Amino acid sequence: MSKLKVQIIKWGIVFLPLIIIVFILKVFLPGFSREVRTSQFGDSKSFQTEHFYTLTKEIPESPRQVATLCEDFYSAFIREHQSQISFKNLENRIEVFFFGNRKEFDNFYKSQYSRSIPHNAAFYSPVQQRIVLYWNNNTRETLYHELTHMILDINVDFHLPEYSVWFNEGLAMYFEKYQVVNGSLIPGELDNEAVLFVRQAFKNHMFVPLTELCSATAVDFRSRKNTIYYYESYLFVYFLKHVKGADTFLQYFKEEGKPGECSPYALWDILQKPSIEIEKEFLRYYKIN
């Protein structure tokens, strides 16, 4: 046997098991890690579509219905916005964990993050690419809300966008009111409950000035007083889109989508007015003061 052949056999003996191990890991590890992750959910029903893997536990909807809701919203959203924003394909299926009640949802959150979110009904985890919620009579709205976070987070073709919390939440609240009819997104009406709530908050001196809202953190949106933050963010997004116009809105959306944190001045620069003037317009539009 030539020296070369001996060398090849020698290296083959060393590397072949390694190649086999790598191959096995590549084929079985994703499935295995999914098994580990989904076992955290406990006994459940599951269903898989092109982009979603849903697990449900004692809720009126079947996992298939939940997955279909997600799939329909996702594809309608992409179709509707792809002329303005470039989207990339999802690399992995998004997991949707749908618990039957608040208690199980709480327990799950605590097991994952060692703290609780008593004032929120659902969340999206960008790290695990997973939506977690519990059944509260608003399946469609809650799902659309979290799906908006998901699309903003992973599907927009910018690198590491860091949306301002108010903008991210405002958009999610804005799109949760949409409906999907025959594959098209149908906008929701202005939510009067939000307007009434903010009017009342203004009277009670609980209104959050818009500059403060724009620099609010995730902690504000998890707090006991988070409703005013959510409603104001929603109304501000609605105001930008419907009063300031789609082009201005898109310009700001792209600014927010750029890498890193958005400058607190970007919005007022785009609107070409100082924040105090915009706030006056905002209050007038909703007849708040």
Q: Does 133 bind Zn ion (CB under 5 A)?
A: no
Torsion angle of the four alpha carbons 280, 282, 287, 288, in this order, in degrees rounded to the nearest 10: -80
Q: Round to whole Å and give the CA distance between 146 and 161.
A: 17
- Residue 207 tokens read as 């209104």
Of 172 and 214, the one with the shorter C-beta distance to Zn ion is 172
**Residues near 226 by beta carbon (within 8 Å), at least 6 away in sequence:** 119, 120, 220
Cα separation, 271 vs 253, in Å, equals 13
The sign one gets for the Cα dihedral 228, 230, 234, 237 is positive
Only one of the segments 169-177, 190-198, 212-220, 263-271 lies at the binding site for Zn ion (rule: CB under 5 A); that segment is 169-177
The minimum distance between CB 154 and Zn ion, in angstroms, equals 15
Residue 172 touches Zn ion, criterion: CB under 5 A: yes
Nearest-angstrom CA–CA distance, 216 and 163 = 12
Q: Are 77 and 175 in contact (CB under 8 A)?
A: yes
Q: Of the listed pieces 82-90, 131-139, 161-169, 232-240, which binds Zn ion according to CB under 5 A?
A: 161-169
Task: Pick between residue 165 and residue 278 the one whose CB is nearest to Zn ion.
Answer: 165
Nearest distance in Å: CB 171, Zn ion:
9
Smallest gap, in angstroms, from Cβ of residue 181 to Zn ion? 24
Closest separation in Å from C-beta 41 to Zn ion: 21
Please identify, using beta-carbon distances, which residue of 172 and 180 lies nearer to Zn ion.
172
Residue with tokens 């599951």: 46
Residue 196 and residue 243: Cα distance in Å, rounded?
19
Give me the least distance between CB of 276 and Zn ion, in Å please.
28
Minimum CB distance to Zn ion, residue 197 (Å): 17
Closer residue to Zn ion, CB minimum distance, 95 or 176: 176
210 is a site residue for Zn ion (CB under 5 A): no
Nearer residue to Zn ion within complex by CB, 102 or 284: 102
Whose Cβ is closer to Zn ion: residue 169's or residue 232's? 169
Judged by CB under 5 A, how many residues of this single chain contact Zn ion?
2
The least distance separating Zn ion from the CB of residue 145, rounded to whole angstroms, comes to 5
Stretch that binds Zn ion, among 19-27, 64-72, 164-172, 265-273 (CB under 5 A): 164-172
- Amino acid at position 137, single letter: N
Task: Write the CA distances from 231 to 167, 174, 186, integer angstroms.
Answer: 12, 10, 21
CA triplet 181, 187, 189: central angle to 5 degrees? Answer: 120
Q: Which is nearer to Zn ion, 54 or 142 (CB)?
A: 142
Chain positions contacting Zn ion, by CB under 5 A: 169, 172
